[in-house]
Amino acid sequence: MSSLKHTDDQLIRLFRDNEEYQFELSAKGELIIMSPANNKTSIRTTRIIARLANWAERDGTGVSFDSNTLFTLPNGAKRGPDAAWISKKRWDRLSDEKQESFSNIAPDFVIELRSKSDRLAKLKDKMEEYVANGVRLGWLLDPKQNRATIYQSGLPPQEIQQPTILTGHPVLDSNSIFEKSSEPPAVGALCAGTRPLSSSNHSVNHFISPQRVLVGRVL
C-alpha cells in the first residue's frame, strides 16, 4: 500500500482509525503493516523498554522511547524500533511541533527484538538502514537463535552467540556497569562502559530476564 502523498497528519488519522495495527513506512513510501508480537515477545520487549527508560531517567543525558514511536529517517522511511534512545542535546534541538510528530531524527541507539513471526533477513536490512541513516549503535536480539548482533556506524555487524554481556560504549557512556548480583555464579549481566563485548553460555532469554540482570547505571 503506497503512502507517498500522505502527510503526517493524514498518517496520524490513518493510524488512529486502525489502532489494532502498527505501521511503518518504507523509504519508497510503502505502508507496512507490522505483525503483532506474541505474548513472550511482548514480555521481553516491555522489560527492555523499562530498563532503558529507568537508566535514561537516572542518567539524564538523553530520552528513551518505546515501540509505539515512529522516527522519520533521512531517507524518508518512518521506522519504529522496539526501543530507542536519543541524546538530550539532539532531542532539544527539535521544536515542540517536531517532537509531537514523526520526528525527523535518527535515534542514537536502537534495539530490535526478533519475534517468532519476524524474518531475520528483513530485520537485518532494517538494522543496516538505521546505521546508514545516522543511528550510531543498534542491537538486534534474537532469542530464537540465542544471538545478539551489534551494529555500529563505520563497523561491520558483530554477531555474539549466547550473549550475557553487551556494551553500550561509547554511545551510552558511563563509568558504571551492570555487575553480577547475588544470583548463582553462572548468571550474566549487561555491561555498558569500557569493557569489551563478551559472551558465555546463557541465552538471550536470560539476558532480558529481570530476575537475572542487575539494573545498574547503564543498559
- Is the same domain home to 58 and 126? yes
User: 60 and 17, same structural domain?
Assistant: no
Phi-psi label, residue 60: left if phi above 0, alpha if psi -120 to 50, beta otherwise = left
DSSP 129: H
**Same-domain pairing of 73 and 170:** yes
pLDDT digits (tens, 9 = 90+) for 32-55: 777 666 778 888 889 889 888 888
For all residues of the chain together, what is the average pLDDT?
A: 75
The yes-or-no verdict on residue 211 having pLDDT over 90 is no
Which structural domain, as residue segments, surrounds residue 7?
1-34
Q: Is residue 185 part of a domain?
A: yes
In a domain, 219, yes or no: no
Buried b / exposed e over 159-195, threshold 16 CB at 10 Å, is ebebbbbbbbbebbebeebbebeeeeeebbbbbbbee
- Total tally of structural domains belonging to the chain: 2
Q: Are 166 and 189 found together in one domain?
A: yes
Would 82 be classed as within a structural domain? Answer: yes
If asked whether residues 28 and 128 sit together in one domain, one would say: no
Asked if 69 and 76 count as a contact pair (C-beta separation under 8 A), the reply is no
pTM: 0.76
Task: Indicate whether 86 and 135 sit together in one domain.
Answer: yes
